[in-house]
């Protein structure tokens, strides 16, 4: 993968998902989600569960690069209009919106749409400040990253450090609900992007990448079910509908020979296992249409 693609997407999407979501107290593993104070939560779940989801989030990072490398033209119709989030009033909507816009920012960076990037950064900054995590976003750094290739390695290091601090802050302040919503927003918008492209230009690679998201959805849903409140219940209900469609997807795995490579001066072992996705074109179309319906519903909530 081209280095600029990887870094821009890592900062725009994957870095937002680097939350360990450490569990806190709770007798039955559930919390009540209070509309009047929905920034604070106390939920008991194994932090390793979220870490496993995050470790498999290379797929959204690769999605935008796959779209661009497949010579699919850029289209703004795939993106959330950043002006829409100005009407979001609850922290629930703002956290999801922050995830949506961050995934879109990665797509914009891949296609070097620097004029549009600034519009998204403005709204990302507004949402992050409303959610009281704005202090962890170095917006001058993100602006430089979006508009220049200079000092990319150092910018990456600085950005990762910022997100690590935000992670610690969220965990210490019992705001694991916010982390879960950010992860959900980034994942769902990334899925939406590639399903929309697949609708316009089918390929087996797109089909396989979409099918692989079944595993992530099955991991994400149990975590979201730990939260109570009408917003979370509505979100879970929508994703359960998507899960029902994904249930038709069959995933098998082929074990490959490990390969030793030198990456950035370090010797690493690369596993060459691959997943084999089986689904019909009709089942793919059902995933595409269901994803579109759910994503658009959440944007306009």
pLDDT bin (cut points 50, 70, 90) of residue 207 is very high
pLDDT over threshold 80, residue 297? yes
258 or 95, which is more confident?
Answer: 95
Of 288, 271, 293, 238, the C-alpha closest to 58 is: 271
265 or 236, which is more confident?
Answer: 236
The structure's pTM equals 0.78
* Segment 252-280 mean pLDDT: 77
* Segment 190-209 mean pLDDT: 92
Domain that residue 259 falls in? 3-299
Which residue matches tokens 């960076």?
Answer: 109
What pLDDT sits at residue 237? 97
Average pLDDT, the chain: 75
What pLDDT sits at residue 162? 54
Q: Give the Cα-Cα-Cα angle 102, 83, 134 (nearest 5 degrees).
A: 50
What pLDDT sits at residue 15? 37
Number of domains in the chain: 1
% pLDDT > 90, the chain: 32
pLDDT bin (cut points 50, 70, 90) of residue 94 is very high
Spell out a b/e string for 45-56, using b for 16 or more CB atoms within 10 Å of the CB, else e: beeeebeebbee
208-253 pLDDT, tens digit each: 999 999 999 998 999 899 888 899 999 999 999 999 999 999 999 8
Rounded-to-integer distance, Cα 2 and Cα 188, Å: 24
Tokens of 234: 């509505």
122-166 pLDDT, tens digit each: 898 898 889 888 777 666 766 665 555 544 444 444 544 555 565
Which residue matches tokens 């997807």?
Answer: 249
The distance of Cα 18 from the centroid of its chain, to the nearest Å, equals: 10
Rounded-to-integer distance, Cα 147 and Cα 96, Å: 26
Rounded-to-integer distance, Cα 5 and Cα 280, Å: 31
273 or 222, which is more confident?
Answer: 222
User: Which residues, 6 or more positions from 112, have their beta carbon under 8 angstroms from its beta carbon?
Assistant: none
What pLDDT sits at residue 277? 94
CB 74 within 8 A of CB 113: yes
6-54 pLDDT, tens digit each: 333 344 433 343 333 333 334 444 433 344 344 445 555 555 555 566 5
* Segment 96-122 mean pLDDT: 83
What pLDDT sits at residue 109? 74
Instruction: State how far the alpha carbon of 173 is from the alpha carbons of 24, 167, 218, 228, in Å.
Output: 10, 10, 27, 18
Which string of DSSP letters, residue by residue, matches 177-203?
HHHHHHHHHHHHHHHHHHHHHHHHS--
pLDDT bin (cut points 50, 70, 90) of residue 107 is confident
* Segment 181-185 mean pLDDT: 86
């Amino acid at each position: 993968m081209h280095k600029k693609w990887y870094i821009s997407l890592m900062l725009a999407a994957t870095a937002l998902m680097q939350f360990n979501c450490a569990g806190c107290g709770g007798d039955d593993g559930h919390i009540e989600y209070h509309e009047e104070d929905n920034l604070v939560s106390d939920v008991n779940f194994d932090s390793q569960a979220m870490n496993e989801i995050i470790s498999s989030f290379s797929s959204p990072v690769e999605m935008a690069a796959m779209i661009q490398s497949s010579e699919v033209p850029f289209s703004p119709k795939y993106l959330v209009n950043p002006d829409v989030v100005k009407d979001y009033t609850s922290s629930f909507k703002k956290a999801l919106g922050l995830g949506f816009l961050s995934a879109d920012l990665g797509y914009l960076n891949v296609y070097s749409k620097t004029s549009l990037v600034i519009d998204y950064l403005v709204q990302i900054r507004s949402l992050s400040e409303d959610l009281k995590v704005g202090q962890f976003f170095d917006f001058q750094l993100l602006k430089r990253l979006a508009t220049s290739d200079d000092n990319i390695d150092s910018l990456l290091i600085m950005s990762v450090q910022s997100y690590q601090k935000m992670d610690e802050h969220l965990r210490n302040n019992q705001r694991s609900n916010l982390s879960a919503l950010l992860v959900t927003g980034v994942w769902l918008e990334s899925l939406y992007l590639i399903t929309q492209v697949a609708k316009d230009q089918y390929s087996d690679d797109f089909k396989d990448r979409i099918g692989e998201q079944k595993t992530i959805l099955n991991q994400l849903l149990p975590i979201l079910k730990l939260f109570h409140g009408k917003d979370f219940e509505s979100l879970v209900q929508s994703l359960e509908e998507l899960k029902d469609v994904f249930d038709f997807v069959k995933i098998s795995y082929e074990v490959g020979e490990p390969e030793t490579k030198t990456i950035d001066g370090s010797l690493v072992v690369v596993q060459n296992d691959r997943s084999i996705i089986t689904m019909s074109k009709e089942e793919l179309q059902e995933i595409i249409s269901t994803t579109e319906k759910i994503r658009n519903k959440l944007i306009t909530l």
